[in-house]
A and B are shown apart, each in its own frame.
Chain A
Amino acid sequence: DAGVTQSPTHLIKTRGQQVTLRCSPKSGHDTVSWYQQALGQGPQFIFQYYEEEERQRGNFPDRFSGHQFPNYSSELNVNALLLGDSALYLCASSLRALGGETQYFGPGTRLLVL
């Protein structure tokens, strides 16, 4: 049973560029959440996608956007990159119908903005 997968594993961009990160959920899961983890900190919730719509959003600017596809996979897009966007981006999947969801995390994509 494949767990949550993310690509790429590492990425280097320059300020002002745009980036797209990808996530495939655990088999059987229908909900994808994205988190940003800055160095030395706990993960911060960005947003959650269910039924191809953004359902919940954390305190992140509109430069952060996402998408969920019919196969439940998801993308995170960040526009106009800032140095402060350098972080580990974690994707988590869950099965919404269960309620009180247990989220399972992928290995993350480490983004460095120069």
Chain B
Amino acid sequence: AQSVTQPDIHITVSEGASLELRCNYSYGATPYLFWYVQSPGQGLQLLLKYFSGDTLVQGIKGFEAEFKRSQSSFNLRKPSVHWSDAAEYFCAVGDYKLSFGAGTTVTVRA
């Protein structure tokens, strides 16, 4: 069975500081991994994805994520957070059917 765990329910970060969101997955084969962002009352926007190849993937809005097979992790990072990054972030795993974590809410303080 495939599943995702996002250990952090809520993270508060200062504007300009770095951000790291954790994601651990369970999947029977080579995983397809995704990070999505959701602003209040909105749908999901794809930030980045990993299918194969280079384990460090770059996404939109300055985000990157690193796939670590040995740790079954796919953590999301951003070097310098902007106030507009305040949102809910979801990690997902799967092929035709995506399984999502419960999400991490990011608050950005001035």
Contact = CB atoms under 8 A, between A and B. Distances in A.
B44 A58 contact: no
Interface stretch (B11-19, B66-74, B75-83, B91-99): B91-99
Contact of B97 (A4, A56, A110): A56
Contacts, number: 60
Contacts of A110: 41
Interface stretch (A11-19, A69-77, A95-103): A95-103
Nearest to A50: B96
B6 to A, nearest CB: 8
Contacts of B97: 33, 45, 48, 56, 58
B98 A103 contact: yes
A108 interface: yes
Contacts of B42: 107-108
Interface residues of B, number: 23
Given A105-B45, A107-B43, A45 B32 contact: no
Contact of B103 (A42, A55, A105): A42
Interface string B13-27: 000000000000000
A57 to B, nearest CB: 9
26 contacts: A31-B96, A41-B102, A41-B103, A42-B4, A42-B92, A42-B100, A42-B101, A42-B103, A43-B44, A43-B100, A45-B98, A45-B99, A48-B97, A56-B96, A92-B44, A92-B98, A99-B95, A100-B32, A101-B95, A102-B34, A102-B46, A102-B49, A104-B46, A105-B36, A107-B42, A108-B42
Interface of B: 4, 32, 34, 36, 41-46, 49, 51, 90, 92, 95-103
